[in-house]
Chain A
Amino acid sequence: MSEEEDEIILSELSDEELTLQMHDDLYDGLKEEIEEGVNILLERGWQPYEVLTKALVEGMRIVGIDFRDGILFVPEVLLAANAMKGGMAILKPLLAETGAPRLGNMVIGTVKGDIHDIGKNLVTMMMEGAGFEVKDLGINNPVENYIEALESGEFDILGMSALLTTTMPYMKVVIDTMVEKGMRDDYTVLVGGAPLNEEFGKAIGADAYCRDAAVAVETAKEFMAKKHNQVSA
């Protein structure tokens, strides 16, 4: 077959075929194709939230599983994330306009002395995709940045990230400060990063250690559900 005959015309696919194709395109990190797919579905009358969850988040969920299972590696995940970012850029303003459901609010940042942000950025994107509002504090955050953000009263969840053995203990500094200020129990604290483990998360007083972005989303959802149950009980 010629290359021309092989080429898939996204606009000619049915809705179902197109969402499956978008999962493939996301997997392959094809940003332009994702942007095109998002626009086609919107033109066909899909709600932005539906495009987000059925085409993008589902596609990234598959990427997350294959990353966890060692089939995909960091570069492929970054390309997929970049493609999703392209789609999100189109959807974000529309989601705000259409009042898509919000599961909760999170503030996230890499701790002081650490400039690594790939994992944090993936978590941010996956959390946004799952329906959380996320404020990203960026890298190298002293405790004051976290406390100031939390004191604004907008957030349910604090996320902290570190890649270095030398910087991960700083998470405890932040949690201890929250305890001193009597605000620890007001928030769910999630931590993550390559050298961390569950034991460390428990030892520093976090609510959970999240191995990857997909686990972070699931954990955040569980904690928000518990919180809502407590409120309604």
Chain B
Amino acid sequence: MLVDDTTLTEDGLDARGEKPARILVLACGALAREILALFRLNNWDHMDLTCLPAKLHLYPDQITEAVTKAVKKHRGDYSRIFVAYADCGTGGQLQARCDELGVEMIAGPHCYSFFEGNDAFAKVAEDEFTAFYLTDFLVKQFDAFIWKPMGLDRHPELRDMLFGNYTKLVYQAQTNDPALDAKAQACADKLGLPLERRFTGYGDLQTALERVSV
């Protein structure tokens, strides 16, 4: 059973299976649905998931400490912990801390990169740095994650100051869902940007978890 997206944004998740698991995936709440889908698809019932609130991304300087605290809290219960975060704006601090703690994390700068595949994302980075990205989760949580924290619900006149340098909105779709496509279009309209939909699936998240699962 998965909690709703608002809970994933605000509070995170503690999803333990019925059987004792050996591996814990400690993830950002924005990845909960995708990771649980991968657990189900691959029958990874030896893996548990716990998530920190997705909204930590609004304060990237808090991510490293929050992850550290969670690793220390859970490490006695599992033989292995995998941190399902990329660098996520921590400027290399999360990687350094994971190295100190002896836990692995996902390679790459952020989820937009690893969903697309880090190599593929890096290849187009030079031509695409004026793109603003949304994933399935961010499309669903657009108001809570972008529109309101940026103050655009109260001050829509700030839109061009905040988004004026972007040239397009890229919706990286993890799933095929016409309702999300429509919502992504509405997000693009609100931001005043043309929409490009790109199906990524789970990208490097899948390969990273496959490696951890064995």
**Residues of chain A having any CB pair with chain B under 8 Å:** 73-76, 78-79, 82, 113-118, 139-140, 164-168, 194-197, 200
**Residues of chain B having any CB pair with chain A under 8 Å:** 60-61, 87, 89-93, 109-110, 125-126, 129-130, 149-152, 154-155, 158, 161-162, 165-166
Pick the contact of A194 from B60, B93, B152, B166 — CB < 8 Å?
B60
> How would you classify the secondary structure of chain B's contact residues: helix, strand, loop or mixed?
loop
Please indicate the chain B residues that have their CB under 8 angstroms from the CB of A165 in the complex: 87, 89-92, 109-110
> How would you classify the secondary structure of chain A's contact residues: helix, strand, loop or mixed?
loop
- Report yes or no: A74 in contact with B151, Cβ–Cβ below 8 A: yes
Please indicate the chain A residues that have their CB under 8 angstroms from the CB of B129 in the complex: 113-115, 140, 167
Q: In the complex, how many angstroms separate the beta carbon of A82 from the nearest chain B beta carbon?
A: 8
Q: In the complex, how many angstroms separate the beta carbon of A29 from the nearest chain B beta carbon?
A: 8
Please indicate the chain B residues that have their CB under 8 angstroms from the CB of A168 in the complex: 91
Max chain B Cβ within 10 angstroms of own Cβ: one of A117, A165, A168, A200: A165
Please indicate the chain B residues that have their CB under 8 angstroms from the CB of A139 in the complex: 165
Report the nearest A residue to B162, measured CB to CB.
Answer: A118
A-B contact count (CB 8 A): 59
Contacts A78-B161, A79-B155, A116-B165 known; 17 new A-B pairs at CB < 8 A: A74-B150, A75-B150, A76-B151, A79-B151, A113-B126, A115-B129, A165-B87, A165-B109, A165-B110, A166-B125, A167-B129, A168-B91, A194-B89, A195-B60, A197-B91, A197-B93, A200-B91
Closest 8 pairs between A and B when the two form their complex, measured CB to CB? A75-B151, A195-B91, A115-B165, A165-B109, A195-B89, A165-B87, A113-B129, A166-B109
Q: A115-B130, A166-B109, A194-B60 are in contact. Are A73 and B165 (CB under 8 A)?
A: no
- Report yes or no: A195 in contact with B90, Cβ–Cβ below 8 A: yes
Q: In the complex, how many angstroms separate the beta carbon of A139 from the nearest chain B beta carbon?
A: 6
